[in-house]
Chain A
Amino acid sequence: MRYLSPASFDDAIAQAAQAPGVTRFLAGGTDVLVQMRADIVTPDTLIDIKKIPGTHDIARAPDGGWTIGVAVTGAEMREHVDLGADWPGLVEAMDLIGSTQVQGRATLTGNLCNASPAADSVPAMIAAGVTLTVTGPEGSRTVAAEDIPTGPGQTSLARGELVTAVHIPPRGAGGGDAYLRFIPRTEMDIAVVGCGVNLTVEGDTITAARVALGAVAPTARLAPQAASAIIGTTLDDAALDALAAAASAACAPIDDKRGTVKFRTHIAGVLARRAAKIAYDRARKAQ
């Protein structure tokens, strides 16, 4: 294996284009190094992107949105007070992943591109409306978070492409988000179900919403019907019931050792309800 640490994305892309065999990009390494050790992936070339300027930055854009460098760790996100004030749900979702030690290395981009259906940050990113800059030999394109994973361990990135920046939209007034997951203990576990809710209110009425679910389908997915169930409402009991039913209806889970189809489908509704309440409270306080 060759280890390369280019000083720019252009160099990284050129190196990837010339590299024979299997190439992997290295950010936090919390998945790649495990896969290498388990012989799941044996890269011929490993391209460490952490020496590229800007990859460690958290920056607020002029429009109030955020650009997160692809090597920014969960710990750095957690420590960023202004980011947490705008997007507490997204920051909390990232913070749920692994131990303190893993938080010191793990990145949003890695969590997304590892393409686990149970990745905690991904439903939160989808709910937030996160987009990614994807760059390759042909140039750059902007891709919505929900369009990156295509199946367990699979992404829509073409050979030689990589994510070069993460963009979180402007929070704006009256916005709030939340992410909840179910695990059978309190820490250090993989989501049986996860749900992210992001919404905007005017007064007490929800004017916009996005709901995303994790671990209930081959990829984390947007649940547009669940969002429709609460838009235009004051999150009254009828809206919450409709939300829960739509979230459960959006599930296409598997039975495995962590949960049955029936359990996951039910819990998706429960978590959608609870996450929506938290997001709604946060949004009303942010007006």
Chain B
Amino acid sequence: MSKIHVSTTINGDTAEFLCDPRETLLDVLRDRLGLTGAKEGCGTGDCGACSVTLDGRLVCSCLVLGAEAEGREIATVEGIAPGEELHPLQRKFIEHAALQCGICTPGILVAAKALLEKNPDPTETEVRYWLAGNLCRCTGYDKIIRAVMDAAAEMREAA
């Protein structure tokens, strides 16, 4: 089976890879590019652990083919922290102990960042609906929601 050559942008850097036409963007990120932040919880669009943005739009990378990345801009959890410093969302997740095993965390950080870019002052209900597609088997969600609300407040003050 012939491989497809794809040129794309990931976290602001150009990237090129060869992939099988059946490979998902999640497979490519993890297995070909070594970006293992996005996790595979289900592979069927149900858990959100594989969340990335594609041209700024939040998507499940398990529901995108690697070949579809041609000419697009992808952002993953690896690009969230500006340099050595953690992003406010990352800091607040640690402060609020909003994670246990951490499998869901990269997807939730990517999803929460996409929300706060669109809506810097969301209500708790808006955060809960926005993150409804990010499943966490450990935390019970309350700490996650508190961490996102707190990060949003801090980012509004800094803005």
A residues touching B (Cβ–Cβ < 8 Å)? Answer: 1-3, 5, 26, 28-30, 33-34, 36-38, 46, 48, 50, 73, 75, 98-102, 104-105, 187-188
Quote the shortest CB–CB distance from B130 to chain A (angstroms): 5
Q: Choose among B4, B21, B58, B59 the residue with the greatest number of A CB atoms under 10 Å from its CB.
A: B59
Known contacts A50-B68, A98-B133: does B21 contact A104 (CB below 8 Å)?
A: no
Quote the shortest CB–CB distance from A5 to chain B (angstroms): 8
B45 CB contact (under 8 Å) in A2, A46, A48, A102: A102
Please state if A34 and B132 are interface contacts (CB–CB under 8 Å): no
- Which B56-113 residues sit within 8 Å CB-CB of chain A? 57-60, 62-65, 67-68, 70, 111
Please state if A34 and B22 are interface contacts (CB–CB under 8 Å): no
B residues touching A (Cβ–Cβ < 8 Å)? Answer: 1, 4, 21-22, 24, 43-45, 48, 51, 54, 57-60, 62-65, 67-68, 70, 111, 114-115, 129-134
A179–B68 Cα distance when bound, in Å, is 33
- Secondary structure call for the B interface: mixed
Please state if B59 and A104 are interface contacts (CB–CB under 8 Å): yes
Known contacts A29-B64, A30-B63: does B57 contact A104 (CB below 8 Å)?
A: yes
Contacts of A105 in B (CB 8 A): 59-60, 63-64
Contacts of B51 in A (CB 8 A): 101
A102–B58 Cα distance when bound, in Å, is 8
A33–B51 Cα distance when bound, in Å, is 16
Quote the shortest CB–CB distance from B37 to chain A (angstroms): 16
Please state if B63 and A3 are interface contacts (CB–CB under 8 Å): no
Please state if A100 and B58 are interface contacts (CB–CB under 8 Å): yes
Quote the shortest CB–CB distance from A111 to chain B (angstroms): 14
A201–B78 Cα distance when bound, in Å, is 54
Q: Choose among A3, A48, A187 the residue with the greatest number of B CB atoms under 10 Å from its CB.
A: A3
A73–B129 Cα distance when bound, in Å, is 18
Quote the shortest CB–CB distance from A243 to chain B (angstroms): 30
Please state if A101 and B45 are interface contacts (CB–CB under 8 Å): yes
Please state if A100 and B132 are interface contacts (CB–CB under 8 Å): yes
Please state if A99 and B22 are interface contacts (CB–CB under 8 Å): no
A sample of 12 cross-chain residue pairs with beta-carbon separation below 8 angstroms, ordered by A number, consists of A29-B64, A33-B24, A33-B65, A48-B68, A99-B132, A100-B111, A100-B133, A101-B133, A102-B45, A102-B63, A187-B129, A188-B132
Instruction: Closest B residue to A185 by CB, please name it.
Output: B132
Contacts of A187 in B (CB 8 A): 129, 132
A84–B139 Cα distance when bound, in Å, is 36
Quote the shortest CB–CB distance from B134 to chain A (angstroms): 8
8 additional contacts (CB under 8 A) given A26-B65, A105-B64: A3-B65, A29-B63, A46-B21, A50-B68, A100-B115, A102-B45, A102-B133, A187-B132
